[in-house]
Amino acid sequence: MKTVLFYSFKGGVGRTQTLLNSAKYLAEVKNKKVAIVDFDIYAPGVSYLSANQKPENEEYFLKYLVDLFQDNETKKIVTEKLSDNLTLIPAFNMQNIKPYHHLLTQLSKYLFSIKQNAHNEVDSLSTVADNIFEVIKSDIENTGEYDYIFFDARTGLTEVSDILFSQYVDLKVIVSSYNDQNINGTNAVLDILPEMKLNKHKILRILSPKPKKSRDEFIGIKARANLDDNLKLRSKFEWLGTYEVPYEDEIVINDFKSWENLQDGENDYRDKIIAIANTIDDIFVDTLI
Amino acid sequence: MNYQQFLEKLLNIENIDYAFCISKKDKQYFEKYNTNDILNNLAFSPVNYKEKKRIFNMLINQEIKDTKMLNGNIELVFERFRESYNIKDIAIEKYMIYFYEWILILTDKNITLENVKFLKKNITTNNYLFWYHLVKVFYNNSKFKETLYLVKYVKKEYIKKDNYLYNDLVLYQLISLKNDKEYLKDTNIQKKICKLSKQLKGFEYIQILTLLECAFLQHNIVDFKQLVYRYKKEILKWNIYQVLNVYELSVYLQDKEIINEISSMLNFKDIGSYNGSEEYDIYQFLNAIVQDDKHKIQFLYDRLRNNFDFSHYELFRKITINLKRI
């Protein structure tokens, strides 16, 4: 079972869309069992895909986090099957925003402490963030059998990103769009990530959505996103390259259905997502002859 | 799909064999095993380094009896790769990593310029994406001499100024030239670097810092000042380490006005808050040079020895010692 973080420094860059469609491809075409975790707890998106809302007092992911940090006994996290191979772990029952808001307030009591201590060492090899992540991962694993757990993280430099930039997250897919604030902001995040002791961060970078027309200001943008001009920073990571995902009229934010209408080999967007999903899969599968 | 069909479709390469990057003499060593077909298929297969090397060792040690089955399996790998990556530029970019890794295997991780010369001689294709990603894979692996050799050839033959990838080649060339500190002594390389930095688009930090460095190497204080004032807005957006690189050059130029200018930029970026960090040590080291505090210079030099590039400082020391002699 491998864990994959989908992160973006800023929002609206197609992070969740990339996650959803690559998860869908891996589940439907490659027969992989994928769990999608909505860790974008302040602005849940994929949670809205949930059809069967359970009562608020159930152990939704957000409630689980509160229980975990409060040192309460945690229960089995709420999951929901989206299809045979796809499982959703929603942040909360988003039909009822009041208890959700209440839980966020409760959680915020612990966030300062997480933020402050995330990078502190608990032993010579791992940090507080590593330990928190290991517990969360193990509790998600207890909900079912998965080949992959995809985490949709919240944007910015937050306690969530501190946890999910743990060295135990097997792959980090970092999405940014075609402008300087996105590229520079994301590069700055990479710059401040501490060098890992056990595992170098595996990084796959995505630029999305690529505008249809090229302009002078885009010259060199892929190379800058790929850190071609900063080999010292890139050497801190196991760098897996940069993919550009093109703009696609039919794809709207967090739409899970329009993917079906796009045909392989005829649609640039779909083919790029397939390449991304296969790259993720190839990283973890040794090509045994 | 075998290696020939795969290479022809993806890269328009025909008539190539596994030994494309080594001499005929070295090839003879492998030929005695008489496994050319399977070696060709293995060499060009999109299979990871570890696995490819393992099978390669088994082949040359004649430990695989059923090569027919192995060939069949490799052909499936070629097909799977084509299905997974049906966008040509992504497929080529990904594939070139495997291509490079075969050179690593064949040379026992000791790639030299000679290998690249053999490669250039033995590969014929007009596919500019192949040549671009070939340069890139050498650059990504910090093989700078080989990168420079390839860029020169690729710029001449396949990727001209009107190609959207030309600018990336300029970047790889510039950084590769700067990696070898020889340029600090060689004015011809300096000229090349300065010319390339003027051509470069979209890499503001590298471009401005190199232009400043050119003015510094020519000891042209007027140009240096003009550049600092012209790009002040841009420099203020850089991170502290990048601004310190400009401060370093201004300190070695020993011009009070410009030292004060960059110093105020560092204060604007709250250099004091970095106290206790490597960046602050660099700042203090440079201040010690301004104040000519020899004891502090030596102390911080020793402390930064493993983390800071002192090549500009060594050049500065050499120049000041020579000046004192005069």
User: Looking at the domain assignment, is residue B244 inside a domain?
Assistant: yes
Residues of A with CB under 8 A from a CB of B: 184, 188, 191, 214, 216-221, 223-224, 228-229, 231, 239, 241, 243, 264-265, 268, 271-272, 274-275, 278-279, 282, 286-289
User: Looking at the domain assignment, is residue B86 inside a domain?
Assistant: yes
Q: How many domains does chain B have?
A: 2
Q: Which residue of B has its CA nearest to A286?
A: B48
Q: Look at residues B88, B119, B150 and tell me which one is the last residue of a structural domain.
A: B119
Residue with tokens 């890992």: A196
Contact B74, B43 (CB under 8 A): no
User: Looking at the domain assignment, is residue A232 inside a domain?
Assistant: yes
Say which DSSP state B45 is in.
Answer: S
Q: What is the C-alpha R_g of chain A?
A: 19
Contact A225, A242 (CB under 8 A): yes
User: Looking at the domain assignment, is residue B270 inside a domain?
Assistant: yes
Cα gap A66→A55, rounded to integer Å: 17
Q: Is the pLDDT reported for residue A255 higher than 80? A: no
Check B94 against A241: CB less than 8 A apart. yes
| Chain A: closest CA distance from residue B173 (Å) | 11
User: Looking at the domain assignment, is residue A240 inside a domain?
Assistant: yes
pLDDT (0 to 100) of residue B34: 61
Q: Which of A1-5, A12-16, B102-106 has the lowest mean pLDDT?
A: A12-16
Check B51 against A272: CB less than 8 A apart. no
Cα gap B273→B292, rounded to integer Å: 24
Check B164 against A219: CB less than 8 A apart. yes
- Residues near B187 by beta carbon (within 8 Å), at least 6 away in sequence: none
pLDDT above 70: percentage of residues in chain A: 97
User: Looking at the domain assignment, is residue B54 inside a domain?
Assistant: yes
Contact B45, B52 (CB under 8 A): yes
pTM score, two decimals?
A: 0.91
User: Looking at the domain assignment, is residue A105 inside a domain?
Assistant: yes
Q: Look at residues B71, B97, B119 and tell me which one is the last residue of a structural domain.
A: B119
| Chain A: closest CA distance from residue B121 (Å) | 28
Q: Is the pLDDT reported for residue A160 higher than 90? A: no
Amino acid at A149: I
User: Looking at the domain assignment, is residue B28 inside a domain?
Assistant: yes
Question: Range of B271's domain?
Answer: 220-325
pLDDT (0 to 100) of residue B75: 94
- CATH number of domain containing A160: 3.40.50.300
Output the six-digit token pair for A172: 């980090």
Residue A245 phi/psi, 5-degree rounding, is -105, 125
pLDDT (0 to 100) of residue A217: 73
Q: Which residue of B has its CA nearest to A227?
A: B140
Give the one of B51, B93, B168 whose C-beta lies nearest to A241's C-beta. B93
pLDDT tens-digit map of B59-113: 888 888 888 899 999 999 999 999 999 899 999 999 999 999 999 999 999 999 9
Cα gap B264→A244, rounded to integer Å: 40
Contact B166, A185 (CB under 8 A): no
Q: Which residue ranges in chain B fall short of pLDDT 70?
A: 33-35, 322-326
- Residues near B224 by beta carbon (within 8 Å), at least 6 away in sequence: B212, B215, B216, B249, B250, B253, B255, B258
Residues in chain A closer than 8 A to B201 (CB atoms): 216, 219-220
Q: Which residues of B215-233 are buried (b: 16+ CB within 10 A; e: fewer)?
A: bbbeeebeebbebbeebee
Nearest in space to A209 (alpha carbons), one of A2, A1, A18, A9:
A18
Q: How many domains does chain A have?
A: 1
pLDDT (0 to 100) of residue B326: 56
- Residues near A82 by beta carbon (within 8 Å), at least 6 away in sequence: A36, A49, A88, A256
Query: Judging by DSSP bridges, how do beta strands A80-81 and A86-89 pair with one another?
Result: antiparallel
SS3 B23: coil
Check A289 against B47: CB less than 8 A apart. yes
Confidence of residue A287 (pLDDT cuts 50, 70, 90): low
Nearest in space to B221 (alpha carbons), one of A185, B156, B229:
B229
Residues of B with CB under 8 A from a CB of A: 45-48, 50-51, 55, 70, 73-74, 77, 84-87, 90-91, 93-94, 136, 139-140, 142, 164, 167-168, 171-172, 175, 200-203, 205-206, 237, 239
pLDDT (0 to 100) of residue A252: 63
User: Looking at the domain assignment, is residue A289 inside a domain?
Assistant: no
pLDDT tens-digit map of A98-120: 999 999 999 999 988 888 888 88
Q: Provide the β-strand partners of residue A60.
A: none
pLDDT (0 to 100) of residue A288: 66
Nearest in space to A104 (alpha carbons), one of A35, A40, A36, A10:
A40
Residues B112 and B224 grouped into a single domain: no
Q: What is the ipTM of this complex?
A: 0.89
Cα gap B131→B153, rounded to integer Å: 9
Check B202 against A188: CB less than 8 A apart. no
CA–CA distance from A181 to each of A13, A105, A189, B201 (Å)?
12, 30, 12, 18
Q: Which of A27-31, A284-288, B271-275 has the lowest mean pLDDT?
A: A284-288
Q: Which residue of A has its CA nearest to B95?
A: A279
Check B203 against A224: CB less than 8 A apart. yes
Q: Is the pLDDT reported for residue A259 higher than 90? A: no
Q: Look at residues B119, B145, B170 and tell me which one is the last residue of a structural domain.
A: B119
Output the six-digit token pair for B150: 């390839």
Say which DSSP state B22 is in.
Answer: S
**SS3 for chain A, per residue?**
CEEEEEEECCCCCCHHHHHHHHHHHHHHCCCCCEEEEEECCCCCCHHHHCCCCCCCCCCCHHHHHHHHHCCCCCCCCCCEECCCCEEEECCCCCCCHHHHHHHHHHHHHHHHHHHHHCCCECCCCCEHHHHHHHHHHHHHHCCCCCCEEEEEECCCCCHHHHHHCCCCCCEEEEEECCCHHHHHHHHHHHHHCCCCCCCCCEEEEEEEEECCCCCHHHCCHHHHHCCCCCHHHHCCCEEEEEEEEECCCCCCCCCCCHHHHCCCCCCHHHHHHHHHHHHHHHHHCCCCC
Contact A203, A174 (CB under 8 A): yes
pLDDT (0 to 100) of residue A117: 84
User: Looking at the domain assignment, is residue A83 inside a domain?
Assistant: yes
Residues in chain B closer than 8 A to A224 (CB atoms): 202-203
